[in-house]
A and B are shown apart, each in its own frame.
Chain A
Amino acid sequence: MNIRIRRTDHWQHYSVNLPPSAYILDALEEIHRQDPTLLFRHSCHHGSCGSCGVRINGKERLACTTQLGDVLQEKNVIVIEPLRNFTLIGDLVVDFSPMFMALNQINLPPVRDNGLNSTKDYQRFEDCIECGLCVSACPISGSNSRYPGPVSLAAAWNLINFHQPYPDHSFIKLIDNEDGVWRCHAAFECSEVCPSGVDPAKGIMSLRQFILIQNIKYRSWR
């Protein structure tokens, strides 16, 4: 099958011979054997590290969990491009720094205690794998660089939901402004592309509700 990849400054065609059950990442690794100059990031190969996000036929997906057969278009062509709304480093690799800076401000602990009735501690990682797909799909992230992005707003809601039922003022001030939680215009693309079931759009809407209620209850907040 034919794979068309957006390289740093040109489009390039490759041809790979793989079954439809193979994953896009298998195809990228096969292409890398043909052409070692291709740059792409990958690590876990099972949708857990969040490093291999790309746009496949225009839609944000993880290369490691997307099967070739699911995305094959007419004429056996698959188009692979880097994520949008990040600075391009080269080929399919983008710079996630702004996303991590925003996440750092929210500071959601990556591990959550579970309420299982266990004699021992039972923990789990937050569902969000910080892969940047939602930021790439978000129309606001593309047009407003001050917008923290769906990933950070979803993290803020998880922080309130699981860790801090009564967050302090400074935390709320970070997101309760025109470039924050109120800037979302409800395209819901983020939830559409999330590979980990986080549903950032629901998080953003819940956050609005929470902040609205707090603002009515305690007017002095603002």
Chain B
Amino acid sequence: MNEKLSLTELQLIIRDSLHLALPDFYWVVAEISEIKENYAGHCYLELVEKQAGERNVRARARAIIWNTRYRLLKSLFENVTGESLESGMKILIRVRVDYSEIYGLSLIVSDIDPSYTVGEMAVKRQMILKRLEEEGVITMNKEHEFPLVPQRIAVISSGSAAGWSDFSRHLRENHYGYVFYTALFEAVMQGTETERSIIGAFERIAENIGHFDLVAIIRGGGSQSDLSWFDNYNIAYYVTQFPIPVITGIGHEKDVSVTDIVAFKALRTPTAVADFLINSVAEAETQLTELGSRIADKSRGIIAEHKDITTTFLSKLMPLAKLAVADQKERLSNRIMGILNIGKEYLTRAGFIPENLKNRLNSSSASFILSKRTYLEKNRMDLMNYSVKIIENQKMKLSALDNSLDILNPVNVLKRGYSLTSINGVIIRSVKDAEKNDVLETRLQDGKIKSRVTGKQYLKD
């Protein structure tokens, strides 16, 4: 018992025992709790095992992927899963147990099975979707009414990412010349901070909700951007509960995340989101101009109709007016002729009339005739004016008549809230027409009502 071992000797014994006891490679399922790559390109992992719903870790071990191996495994993993190795991820790895007298126990990773992670992610995703569905919230954001003109946009994105600048430039340079207002709420778009950061952005937007028409979550698309950060219950739940539509453009070619599924609309890229917004506004404007042209067409129709009526009227009235003018003209001519004849008669009766008097008479007769001609002309003008006035007057009456004709049409009268009442098909006009227990039929614009008379009452003067 007095034999003493140096620490090194002990560690070497442990190492040899371990190697002896665990000579093989083992496939192990574990969750990454930490991962880092050092300057030499070796990858150091902290692996844990947690039970669902438990906070405490059941098992923990260190693992290493040496740089040459890591380069291979990393790209294999990313190609298959579309994700990079991140903490929180469940992996299936082939390991050898190693023991170092300085660093203690570590698992040396020789292989990784990405299909396990794919399956795990799919299961996790399905569980989130199932939970949202069971809670009855999964379609809530889609049920919002989309704003007619989505001009005021709250953007959740990383400010430095290409996605944000693409998005705002695309909106700004739309060829319709539409104005868009964007406010960026910065958030981390991948990694363990994603959930906390995006929810924080949602909360800041919610404080100013009245200023926004919708939220756009955007992220520039690398070829391999990891979508799993958006397969997140809390982010998805926030989207479903958000009081305005949320649109995503988080840049993934193949798959959609849970956040995409619950969003009002999911698009692939920030640019696609911008295009969608521009087109929405353009649609609203088209709708507007269509309304405008329908109003114009209909109004032109109404005016043309009324012009037709007045033209018809004018064409009937004009000959009558002309006739009246001609008649007046003749009567005036006759009067002038009469006056002239009287003048002549006087001359004849007088027999001789001194030359100067004759001249005076002639000239005064001429001026008399002239004055009468002027009078006639004036009279003619007056008559014409009068006729035109009558026509104008008639035009107005006609419009009024046209309106009242329209109003008098029973259907229109019924539309205005009046009704027709009849007994056995005969329209009644007086209280006298109805007797107690008679069945009245009341016609309204959209149908008939039958009722029985239970009493009568006359209006008192």
A is bound by B: no
